[in-house]
Amino acid sequence: MKRIVVVLMFAALPFAAQGQDARQAPALVLKDLQGRKVRSSDYRGKVVLINFWATWCPPCRKEIPDLIRMQRQYRGQGLQIIGVTYPPQRLWEVRRFVRRFRVNYPVALGTKRTRRLFTATENLPITVIIDRNGNVRDLIQGILLPEEFEQKIKPLLSDATADSSLFPYLCDLQSADAVLERELDSIASLQPFQQRLVPDVELHRHRGHQAPDVFMIDLN
């Protein structure tokens, strides 16, 4: 299957294509189509595909239905696609396109500088592959082919070294513990009611590995 690429100008190959070691992905803070902030850091712990595209780019439009399918099929395994537009781009055109195709992942408004954070190439579409630890693992120029997804992305989805479900607890354990301490005090004050309503039940505090306090109920 041939790759379709819109080439705007010649440029140097990206670092990923040159076989260099993975590096930490730059932090992105962009705005979505409603003006809300989209932060790449919010998706740490997931396998993130940052897809640079434009409504005026035929290969980009051709690729979008496949990206929608991937997001739907692999969301539960930790895949998160983020679409980033490339100028020149009019907001109303992007909104109409997103509604028409029912895009099921965040779409943010990008700039040429946004793309240059990852590569100097001027090709579209471009997909940046970021692993669960926030490292750039590869950069694909042109339409993301099924065999590339199987070879370069699926192994990252099956990598269990980072548990995305625990990541929110790793960000600010102190503040989370403070909230739970207040909840403990509140529950302790209800202990007589608990014993009266549920006989032979005790509440025990249990600390999980690198996570805030949780409660376990032991039935005697």
pLDDT of residue 121: 87
Residues 62 and 136 in one domain: yes
128 and 145 both lie in a single domain: yes
**Is 206 part of a structural domain of the chain?**
yes
For residues 210 and 156, membership in a common domain is answered with: no
pLDDT of residue 85: 96
**What pLDDT does 185 receive?**
54
Q: What pTM does this model have?
A: 0.65
Could you tell me if residue 13 is inside a domain?
A: yes
Q: Are residues 32 and 55 in the same domain?
A: yes
* 184 exposure class (CB count in 10 Å sphere: 0-12, 13-18, 19+): middle
Under a CB-based contact definition with an 8 Å cutoff, are residues 157 and 77 in contact? Answer: yes
Q: What is the DSSP string of 157-179?
A: HT--SS-TTTHHHHH-HHHHHHH
pLDDT along the chain (220 residues), means of 10: 41 41 88 95 96 97 97 97 95 96 96 94 94 96 96 90 44 44 50 40 38 40
| CA triple 88-112-85, angle to 5 deg | 55
Residue 118 structure tokens: 């990852």
Contact 143, 62 (CB under 8 A): yes
Quote the pLDDT of residue 189: 47
Per residue in 51-85, is it b (16+ CB within 10 Å) or e — as a string? bbbbbebebbeebbeebbebbeebeeebbbbbbbb
Domain identity same for 42 and 85: yes
Shared domain for 113 and 202, answered yes or no, is no
Examine the domain organization and report whether 152 and 195 are in the same domain. Answer: no
Same domain, 174 and 91: no
CB 25 within 8 A of CB 101: no
**191 shares its domain with 134:** no
Answer whether residue 154 is part of any domain.
Answer: yes
Nearest to 22 by CA among 171, 139, 191: 139
- Please check whether residue 1 lies inside any domain of the structure: no
Residue 133 belongs to what domain range?
6-161
Total domains in the chain come to: 2
d(CA 167, CA 62): 34
CA distance 152 to 41: 22
Residues 147 and 105 in one domain: yes
Residues 136 and 96 in one domain: yes
